[in-house]
Structure 1
Amino acid sequence: MWIQRYLTIYGVITRKIRRNFSYYLVKGDTFWSESPIKYSFKSGEIIVTTRDGNLLSGKAGKNLKDVYDYCVEHFFSPNGKIPDESLFTKPQFNTWIELQYNQNEDDILAYAKSIIDNGYEPGVIMLDDTWQENYGVWDFAPRQFKNPKAMIDKLHEMGFKVMVWICPFLSPDSKEFRFLAKEGMLLLDLQETQDIMWSNTKDKAAIIRWWNGASACLDLSNPKAREWFKGKLDYLQEEYGVDGFKFDAGDADFYMKGVVSKNAKTPNDHTTYFAQMGLDYPLNEYRASWKMAGLPLAHRLRDKWHNWSDLQKLIPDITSQSLMGYAYTCPDMIGGGQVAAFQNSSTLDQELIVRSAQVHALMPMMQFSAAPWRVLSPENAKLCKEAAQLHVEMGDLILGLANISSKTGTPIVKPMALAFPDDGFENIKNQFMLGDTILVAPILHKSTYKRQVVLPKGRWKADDDKVYKGGNTIIIDAPIERIPFFRKIG
């Protein structure tokens, strides 16, 4: 997920040059910007620059928790709502890696059946790209879906909730394109050689290159375009029983090359308009947001590759996202979301998939795409199922933490320095807290079967029932079948 509007830091302002700030890092001070920023670290200083807007700084206490609580109160207060409960309590299943660009009724039902047949709890199933007739034609492709309503009814009977993939793009030169262009609901090309007025350029739609080619794009800063888009989503719910939507794309990058819109002032504004669409649909998922912290949107971390380096990024990425006010988070797809990694079994790292599932198990959400029973040995597939079962067992706890977050802004997943702000844990990036009482210390490196765990003060009961005195560092055994975590018991 992309960084949103602010940076919470430890800083004291030392000088101010126009809109370029330099800070020494000191605990308890804050920095805030309502506009996009550029920042860098060098020799104990942070340099922050913005092209427009104000840069705010001030004292907010003596540690990270004080700073975070201040930001919740002043900048991103929650609204008392959470995304759909099923996103937290059971594993999610995305059809992308199994079906890729061949989403179809028969294979979707077969995938759903195999989930249950292999002992997994039915939760949310996400139908990914190409279920639709075309980009911008948000209806089931008739050649691939004989009876989409009956298919969704069947998935509901099996215990699933159904999400479908959508994006703000639409195929050019289609009937929908010509209608939306005529009505002024598309982003337009920047005409640099003349003054631009919305009224006389509305037919010159911008074509944006993205990972699926070159497409026109809705101008969601235009209320008419938002109304049109919402009408398509509501139709899918009313006609077929679709439960929610995976809102893909929307990244500010797509709006960086001088597009003209009705109301947006910056590329990030387009991301906000797209994110706001999800507030009407509790079952949602996003990969990009701007100024939506504290609100009931589920955010997936940016795509991860099938390698150990990206697995090691999960904890710092998800805890950083928590500190930005996004509590309802999913750490991408288990084992990574890149199709190529799963097309050649000889290059597939089974241990990586198992350890990835174990990291996900004690995070707010976990999402499978590649079917473990297809790509793994029976032994390793069993370990993934056990990780999924642990997540289900923790579901009520995670849901409770989500509800607390919706009222107080307290993250579900916390970096150690937020949960224990005065204990010097700022540099710990390979373990995290689930709430205030569960410390999670997963394995993040290949062929590693022991690990060091830093235990805060108190008494801690491990997943193997051993009890440890905190306030020190311990070494534990962590064979591949173990997910190391500790409960605070005193």
Structure 2
Amino acid sequence: MGDKQIQLTIHWDSKSHQKLDFYNFYWKKPTGLNSLQDSINLGSDNSVHWYGGMNTHEQSWPIKKNDYKSTEFVTNDVYQTGVTGQERYWLSSKKVVLNVPWSVPLYTSLQNNELGLQSKLDEDSSFLLRNNFLEYTLAVPKEWDKISLKDFHQECFELFLAAPTAHPSLEIINKPIWSTWANFWKAVDQNGLLEYAKQISDNNMPISQLELDDMWTVSYGDYQIDKRKFSNFSEMLKKLENEFGIKRLSAWVHPFVDADSEIGKNPELRNKLFVKNRDGDVPHVWWWDCPVKPGDPSKPVGPTNPDKKEPCAYVLDVTNPETREWWYKQLEALKAEGICTFKFDAGEINWLPHNYVLYDGAYPNSYGKHYAHFASRFGSAVENRYGSGTQQTNFFTRTIDRNSYWDKDGGLSTLIPWALQSSLHGYYWNLPDMIGGNGLNHNESNIRGEPPEEELYIRWTQSNTLLLAMQFSYPPWHSKYGGEVLNIVKKSLELRKKWMHYLIKNVRKAVEDKVPPMWWASDDNEALTIDDQFMVGSDLVVAPVIKSGQKTRNVYLPEGNWRNGNNVSEVVIGPTTIKDYPSPLDVLPHFYRTDSDDSGNGSSSIFGSPMGLFCSIISIIISLYFLN
């Protein structure tokens, strides 16, 4: 072939794996051509379903509803870009896996049931290596009819991805986190925090750790507790423990340093610590606490007249070991003052300066990988937002802020699909963020919102009840709510307590077996499309209500005998779909296998049953594999 021809090499590998065949596609473009593009038809009927790839703000499961235009496959804040790329792994229900290596400067799109793959050289690109090729691998089973979808995924998973090597803090699984974020926004201070702790204690609510969120330092980047807001920090910590039984205080941190902070104004540190551009300069970046000014007031508001984001900060280059050690010392000093652990925020590529250059990172997502590994130095009670290639860490990876909506737009309906997507990619330890969302549906700017309506708050609590972790901010005794909200939340927490031993057994087994805590229990086509229920292990089906005003719902049960968790005298034989299961506001629909219950008096008996422990082998009602 001549220099101006596109070269395609297809390598068929049928010998390296006992159960799988691989087809590697390698496209090379000639000099002068800046992009190569291929597309995969995802199927137009309802018999083919795809999972994985990009996460989107309006996450769906399967992904064919996640339409988006051509976008760099790198991590992004979905509030800014709508999509984020964590792992380049896609799975088809027809037992095909697509994997794209990180060496490819990949752009993807999902439109009209087609997944677009594009390798592009662009001066404005985030990709640091100027690779001139498009490469991807398709994996298929050697014997299609002799392997389940679950087992096929596990074979591919071990080759292309990774699983955790240890579990996160069991204390956080056992008891909820309580955060100041949505409830206080930036207005938190010592008196407010102590009053919040008192309310948690007075209402007999369980708590693993109290999370101090935005605006507790002197300025962003100066890691000093603001004495104007917290006049006696050590005394406050004593009161939290001695009067309210709260032993762990975590604090919100991020990689941004305000330009007018003491650290930001230090030229020596500025040149050592922060991300530089290709010219060797240290430019300002914009992040969500920087100013936003309206566009031209003489023109109509819209895409052609956008708001103006004013950069105001620098961003730490966590790929630089000198930066990591400097930051580590800052955070260790805060631990010496009594802060137990940290909530690490941001870490996505879109926060880096234009034409950035990392100290150590061949690929854009190297930044998030270093960031997550840095966070892991602070233990298993850490909360992190993003990583890439960091599944082996033992902390919670948080679903990015959810909005206080019911349907899509980052609302309740996206909670389970996001967690399923995370689990597919190996991020088992999912923290589903604040119960009820952050209130931002009431305003579009970065100012304090309002709590969600009662019904949404209750249904959100129920959706979280049997997931891996729970996190409250808006309290169920908020002045906006009546007493019914608190009563139903307490009922949900009692249900969680009954199943806690089973949850933890599955978490431990996931580490041992390298299988996600929730997975497919059936290749049935109906199960493959369910996006609003999930299984914990193989024995517990959970089907929360996620639609406004809904008082009944359909519940899918895989093969087996299932006892109704809300009416233990009722047993249902699966596979079947229960139509119009009664779901009044105080009811969380859930079923458990009868062969895991040797006393017949409810879910708590599963913990004493050898069969119950043995059967914590992990699987899910397809659409829902997710203790994470």
- In structure 2, the CA distance between the partners of 1:37 and 1:483, relative to structure 1 (3 Å rule), is farther
Could you list the per-position Cα deviations for residues 312-368 of structure 1 after superposition, in whole angstroms to 9, with x for gaps in the alignment? 1111111111101011011121111235649787x8421001000000111111111
Q: Output the amino acid matched with 1:146.
A: S
Give 1:409 shift.
2.5
CA distance in 2, matches of 1:78, 1:180: 40
The 5-angstrom pairing of residues 155-194 of structure 1 reads: 155-157=240-242, 158-177=245-264, 178=266, 181-191=269-279
**Contact conserved, 1:255 with 1:270, CA < 8 A, in 2?**
no
Instruction: Look up the match of 2:199.
Output: 114
Give the Cα separation in 2 of the matches to 1:11 and 1:410. Answer: 22
Is residue 330 of structure 1 aligned with residue 330 of structure 2? no
Q: Structure 2: how far apart are the matches of 1:372 and 1:149?
A: 29
User: What's the CA shift for 1:13?
Assistant: 6.9
CA contact (8 A) 1:78 1:294 kept: yes
Q: Which moved more, 1:378-387 or 1:421-430?
A: 421-430
Q: Match of 1:277?
A: 374
List gaps (5 residues or longer) in structure 1. 1-9, 192-200
Cα distance, 1:422 vs. partner?
5.4
Give the structure with higher Rg (CA).
Answer: 2
Equivalent in the alignment of 2:14: none
Closer/same/farther in 2, CA of residues 380 and 256 from structure 1, 3 Å limit:
same
The structure-2 alpha-carbon separation of the partners of 1:72 and 1:243, relative to structure 1 and needing over 3 Å to count, comes to farther
Q: How far apart, in 2, do the equivalents of 1:344 and 1:455 lie?
A: 39
Matches within 5 A, 1:17-416: 18=28, 20-23=37-40, 27-35=94-102, 37-41=106-110, 46-51=115-120, 54-60=135-141, 62-157=147-242, 158-177=245-264, 178=266, 181-191=269-279, 201=280, 204-213=281-290, 214-237=312-335, 239-255=336-352, 257-281=354-378, 282-309=380-407, 310-339=411-440, 341=442, 348-374=452-478, 375-414=480-519
Say if 2:572 is the partner of 1:471.
no
SS across alignment from 2:116: strand
The secondary structure found in structure 1 opposite 2:393 is coil
Deviation, 1:181, is 3.6
- Cα pair distance change 1:37/1:294, threshold 3 Å: farther
Greater percentage in helix: 1
Q: CA–CA distance in 1 between the matches of 2:209 and 2:21?
A: 42
Identity between Structure 1 and Structure 2 (%): 26
Please tell me whether the aligned partners of residues 80 and 403 of structure 1 are also in contact (alpha carbons under 8 angstroms): no
2:274 and 2:500 mapped to 1: Cα distance? 42
Relative to 1, partners in 2 of residues 1:45 and 1:174: Cα closer, same or farther, differing over 3 Å? closer
Counterpart Cα distance in 1 of 2:228 and 2:112: 60
Give the secondary structure class of the aligned counterpart of 1:209.
Answer: coil
Q: Secondary structure at the match of 2:366?
A: helix
**1:205 partner letter:** V
- Give the Cα separation in 2 of the matches to 1:348 and 1:243: 30
1:372-411, Cα deviation, whole Å (9 max, x unpaired):
1013111122112222332333332222222222222222
CA contact (8 A) 1:294 1:327 kept: no
Question: For 2:589, which of 472, 484, 487 is the aligned residue?
Answer: 484
- Out of 444, 458, 466, which is 2:560 matched to? 458
Query: 1:45 offset after TM fit, Å?
Result: 5.0
Task: Go from structure 1 to structure 2 and tell me whether the alpha carbon gap of 1:252 and 1:351 turns closer, same or farther (over 3 Å shift).
Answer: same
Deviation at 1:370, TM superposition (A): 0.7
**Partner secondary structure for residue 211 of structure 2:** strand
Give the structure-2-normalised TM-score: 0.69
Structure 1 residues 359 and 319, CA gap change in structure 2 (3 angstroms)? same
Query: Quick check: 2:271–2:282 contact (8 Å CA) kept in 1?
Result: no
What is the SS of the residue equivalent to 2:347? Answer: coil
Matched to 1:335, the amino acid is: G
Structure 1 window deviating more from structure 2 (456-465 vs 248-257): it is 248-257
Give the equivalent residue in structure 1 for 2:530.
Answer: 428
Q: 1:421 to 1:42 in 2, by over 3 A?
A: same
* 1:221–1:15 CA distance, 2 compared to 1 (3 A): closer
SS at match of 1:143: coil
Query: Which residue identity lines up with residue 185 of structure 1 in the other structure?
Result: L
In structure 1, C-alpha distance between the alignment counterparts of 2:194 and 2:418, rounded to whole Å: 34
- Contact 1:206/1:259 (CA < 8 Å) preserved in 2? no
Deviation at 1:55, TM superposition (A): 1.9
Q: Name the stretch that deviates more: 57-66 or 137-146.
A: 57-66
State the one-letter code of the partner of 1:59.
V
Q: Which amino acid aligns with 1:222?
A: N
TM-score normalized with structure 1 length: 0.88
Matches of 1:478 and 1:70 in 2, distance apart? 38
CA distance in structure 1 between the aligned counterparts of 2:150 and 2:169, rounded to whole angstroms: 28
8 A contact 2:208–2:248 mirrored in 1 = yes
Give 1:487 deviation, angstroms: 0.5
Which range moved further: 318-327 or 376-385?
A: 376-385
Report the Cα distance in structure 2 between the residues aligned to 1:79 and 1:102, rounded to whole angstroms: 37
Q: Once the two structures are superposed, what CA deviation does each residue of 1:272-291 show, in whole Å capped at 9, x if it has no partner?
A: 12111121122111222211
Aligned residues: 465
Give yes or no for contact 1:91–1:391 (8 Å, CA) kept in 2: no
Aligned partner of residue 267 in structure 1, secondary structure: coil
1:4 maps to which residue?
A: none
Q: In 2, distance between residues paired with 1:335 and 1:12? A: 44
Give the structure 1 partner of residue 521 of structure 2.
419
What residue is the counterpart of 2:63 in the other structure? none
What does the per-residue CA deviation read over 1:80-110, in whole Å, with 9 as the maximum and x for residues that have no partner? 3122112211111110122211221121111
Q: Is the 8 A contact 1:13 1:24 kept in 2?
A: no
Deviates more, 1:181-190 or 1:428-437: 181-190
Aligned partners of 1:31 and 1:55 also within 8 Å: yes
Deviation per CA, 1:388-444: give whole Å up to 9, x if none. 332333332222222222222222233xxx232356521111111112111111101
Change in Cα spacing, 1:138 to 1:389, as seen in structure 2 (3 Å) is: farther
**Distance (whole Å) between structure 1 residues aligned to residue 194 and residue 385 of structure 2:** 26
CA distance in 1, matches of 2:117, 2:417: 21
Following TM superposition, the consecutive aligned residue runs of length 4 or more in structure 1 with deviations greater than 6 angstroms are 10-16, 342-345
Q: Does the CA contact (< 8 Å) of 2:402 and 2:433 recur in 1?
A: yes
User: Structure 1's 110 and 42: CA in aligned 2 closer, same or farther, altered over 3 A?
Assistant: closer
* Greater RCO, CA 8 A, separation 6+: 1
For 1:340 and 1:58, how far apart are their aligned partners in 2? Answer: 42
Give the aligned residue type for 1:401: N
Call closer, same or farther: CA 1:253–1:28 in 2, change over 3 Å: same
What's the RMSD between the two structures over aligned residues? 2.6
**Matched letter for residue 361 of structure 1:** T
